[in-house]
Amino acid sequence: MKNLYNSELTKSTYDSIIIGSGIGGLTTAVCLAKAGKKVLVLEKHYVIGGFTHTFKRKHFEWDVGAHYIGQVNNPSSLMRKTFDYITNGKLKWDDVGEIYDQVIIEGAVYNFKKGLNNQINQMIAYFPDEEKAIRSYYQLVLKVSGHASIFFCEKTMPNWLSKLLGHQLRKKFLNYSRQTTHEVLSRITNNEKLITVLCAQCGNYGLTPKQSSFGIHALVITHYIEGAAYPAGGAANIHRCIENVIEEHGGIIAIKADVKNIIIENNKAIGVLMHNGDKLFAKKIISNAGAHNTFNKLILPELQKAENTVALNKVMPSVSHVCIYVGLNAADEELKLPKYNIWLYENYKLDESSELHLKTKDSESPVFYISFPSAKDSEWQQKHPGTSSIQLLGSYPFNWMKEWEDMKWQKRGDEYEAIKEELKKLYLEKLYKTLPQIKGHVEICELSTPLSTKHFSNYHNGEIYGLEHTPERFELKQLRPKTNYKNLYLTGQDIIAVGVCSAMFSGIVTSINILNRNLLWRVFRYKI
């Protein structure tokens, strides 16, 4: 197996060891390798890429996290420039189209359209009496998103400069991130139906309006406001392209490389201890394993610092989910499957429905998300002619699966499998009700649970978005690249925010801290 971990790697000393191959870790690896550093990436599982990887069954494949990406349709945007930089321009994109999200609530359809003015006009058409509120809302999300850029860039500063200027640079974003989404929107309008529609993409960050920080809401809305795209050839092309660049610059990626703990001596990270007893040493250790995993698991208990663990443990893990992966024996065009995503809600009471769901075991998810990876991918029919693929996700609390969490993957017993079959039937019926034309064309259907997510992502509660995006999350001083252990750094979505692009940008921010170099200038100047 390519890149399989072996003990020969212990014979070298590295400039940087990166734990985890999610896009935050891979981006960090690219940046450091391009700067001439000797880099080793250690991945616990047999595939790299975190939530950018895909999996296959028969002649079908599905993405697991990168369902659509914003801000890459514009070749001069920071996100597109960054993708070009870390892939050497090899990653290509397919535009999702004029509509990137469709929301259905109580049967009413709301389309989210590409382009700020198009989206404003569309919302005004749905709510003609709320034009002033709608215009104020979009003006505000853009304003707060601008403040967020400064907030996150402050994380690149050395400690002495952050202490001097950090408060002022963080202040404007924190003024809004400290408030919930509902609190902010309620001052713009008292039309609860409008608030629900404006918040209907909240599944992208996993919290309802009365729970989520307005900071994350503004970031997600702004991210998609100019449309979305999908990686040509599938989501796995993201990590494939990055992997090639890392290796071209002498970096090494090792799979099935299970790190037991970070070796710390005199408050200084010097290496990692593998589960097989191997020790690997480096000048810098970078964890892409998530803040909770890093401070609570990868550091020995006697070396943990309460200022880290106590603060982080106050913020809960994000939402967990169930997903069905459906393969169809007819092409997207034949079945009239869209490129845009569909969000399904039973009613306009997002918070109340979510609260009831969390309190009621085995209750139906209050929101379902449908994605069409084959329809988005211009290369699908060439690779998988006459077929198509769909995913349907819904909320499913981790504690409903807790009794099986210590059992091995694919060996969790008949009761667990029976529950999966019931869920599969429920989710398929939801899919048939929304897309009746697919009935009779399903060739394969597989279901994943929060335990599947835990197994592959190593998140303790099967969460998909790291730490919850509550107002408290953005207050945490521990969510910075540089930790309070010398030479130990964090990267990944926890230090920025949810999503592939945020995780990627975390790699830039972490690399700036390590290299003490203006990488953003290099990214903007990069030409294919």
CATH assignment at residue 514 = 3.50.50.60
What average pLDDT does the segment 117-123 reach? 98
Instruction: Answer whether 292's CB lies under 8 Å from 361's CB.
Output: no
Q: Are residues 158 and 127 in the same domain?
A: yes
Q: Are residues 250 and 343 in the same domain?
A: no
Q: Are residues 413 and 490 in the same domain?
A: no
Give the list of residues 6+ apart from residue 327 with CB closer than 8 angstroms, or none.
Answer: 57, 58, 59, 60, 387, 388, 389, 442, 443, 444, 445
| Residues belonging to the chain | 528
- Which pLDDT belongs to residue 2? 65
Supply the range of the domain harboring residue 417: 321-395+397-448
In a domain, 98, yes or no: no
Last residue of a domain, one of 172, 196, 226: 226
What average pLDDT does the segment 126-143 reach? 98
In a domain, 92, yes or no: no
- pLDDT over 90 percentage in the chain: 89
Q: Are residues 326 and 419 in the same domain?
A: yes
In a domain, 71, yes or no: no
- Which pLDDT belongs to residue 458? 80
In a domain, 102, yes or no: no
Rounded distance between C-alpha atoms, residue 437 and residue 344, angstroms: 18
In a domain, 278, yes or no: yes
- If we measure between CA atoms, which residue out of 505, 484, 497, 510 comes closest to residue 309? 484
Cα atoms in the Cβ-side hemisphere of radius 13 Å centred on 361 = 6
- Which pLDDT belongs to residue 339? 98
Q: Are residues 306 and 327 in the same domain?
A: no
Q: Are residues 176 and 294 in the same domain?
A: no
> Which residue do the tokens 């609570």 mark?
296
What average pLDDT does the segment 107-134 reach? 98
Residue type, 515: L
Is pLDDT of 392 > 80? yes
Considering only 35-44, 45-54, 78-87, 239-248, which range has the smallest mean pLDDT? 45-54
Last residue of a domain, one of 380, 415, 448: 448
In a domain, 263, yes or no: yes
What average pLDDT does the segment 224-241 reach? 97
> What average pLDDT does the structure give for the chain?
95
Instruction: Answer whether 199's CB lies under 8 Å from 209's CB.
Output: yes
Instruction: Answer whether 450's CB lies under 8 Å from 401's CB.
Output: yes
Other Cβ atoms less than 10 A from the Cβ of 494: the count is 29
User: Strand, helix or coil at 60?
Assistant: strand
Q: Are residues 221 and 247 in the same domain?
A: no
3-state secondary structure 377-415: CCCHHHHCCCCEEEEEEEECCHHHHHHHCCCCCCCCCHH
- Which pLDDT belongs to residue 527? 85
The structure's pTM equals 0.96
Other Cβ atoms less than 10 A from the Cβ of 263: the count is 19
Last residue of a domain, one of 173, 196, 226: 226
Q: Are residues 326 and 430 in the same domain?
A: yes
Q: Are residues 283 and 303 in the same domain?
A: yes
Q: Are residues 184 and 284 in the same domain?
A: no
Angle at 66 between CA 114 and CA 102, to 5 degrees: 40
Is pLDDT of 1 > 60? no
3-state secondary structure 120-155: HHHHHHHCHHHHHHHHHHHHHHHHHHHHHHHHHHHH
In a domain, 332, yes or no: yes
Give the list of residues 6+ apart from residue 216 with CB closer than 8 angstroms, or none.
Answer: 177, 205, 207, 469, 497, 498
User: Strand, helix or coil at 516?
Assistant: coil
In a domain, 88, yes or no: no
Residue 352 pLDDT class (50, 70, 90 cuts): very high
Burial class (CB in 10 A: 0-12, 13-18, 19+), 178: middle
Q: Are residues 135 and 43 in the same domain?
A: no
Q: Are residues 248 and 307 in the same domain?
A: yes
Considering only 120-134, 200-214, 406-420, which range has the smallest mean pLDDT? 406-420
Q: How many structural domains compose the chain? A: 3
| Span 174-231, pLDDT tens digits | 999 999 999 999 999 999 999 999 999 999 999 999 999 999 999 999 999 999 999 9
